[in-house]
C-alpha cells in the first residue's frame, strides 16, 4: 500500500519539481529549447508537480490557506511552463 504524504509535504515537493524543471539544462546541440526530449522532460516535471497537489482542495479538513497555496502552485506551474519553453 502506498504511503500517504501530508498536504504540506506535497506542496513542498511540488515546488521542488517546479524548480527542477527550471534548472533542467537546455541541450547545447541540435534544436536547443525546441528539442523534443527537453520539452518532454520539462512538461513531465510540471505534470508531476500538478499531480502532487491536485487532490488537496477536495480533501476534507484542509484549511483555506492550504487551498490558496495550491492555487499559487498552479499559477507557478503555468508561469514556469511559459517561461521555460518560450
Per-residue pLDDT of the chain (86 residues; tens, 9 = 90+): 667 889 999 999 999 999 999 999 998 887 888 899 999 999 999 999 999 999 999 988 889 999 999 999 999 999 999 999 98
What global pTM score does this model have?
0.90
For the chain, what percentages of helix, strand and coil (3-state, to nearest 5) are there? 75, 0, 25
3-state class (DSSP) for residue 80: helix
Distances (CA, A) of 28 to 34, 35, 41, 59, 81: 11, 10, 15, 43, 20
The confidence score (pLDDT) of residue 33 equals 87
The confidence score (pLDDT) of residue 39 equals 95
Dihedral sign, Cα of residue 16, residue 77, residue 44, residue 8 = positive
Greatest Cα pair distance, the chain, in angstroms, is 49
Amino acid at each position: 500500500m502506498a504511503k500517504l504524504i501530508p498536504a504540506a509535504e506535497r506542496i513542498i515537493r511540488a515546488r521542488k519539481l517546479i524548480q527542477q524543471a527550471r534548472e533542467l539544462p537546455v541541450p547545447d546541440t541540435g534544436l536547443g529549447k525546441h528539442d523534443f526530449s527537453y520539452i518532454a522532460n520539462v512538461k513531465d516535471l510540471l505534470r508531476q508537480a500538478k499531480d502532487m497537489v491536485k487532490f488537496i482542495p477536495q480533501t476534507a479538513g484542509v484549511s483555506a490557506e492550504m487551498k490558496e497555496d495550491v492555487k499559487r502552485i498552479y499559477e507557478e506551474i503555468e508561469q514556469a511552463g511559459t517561461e521555460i519553453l518560450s
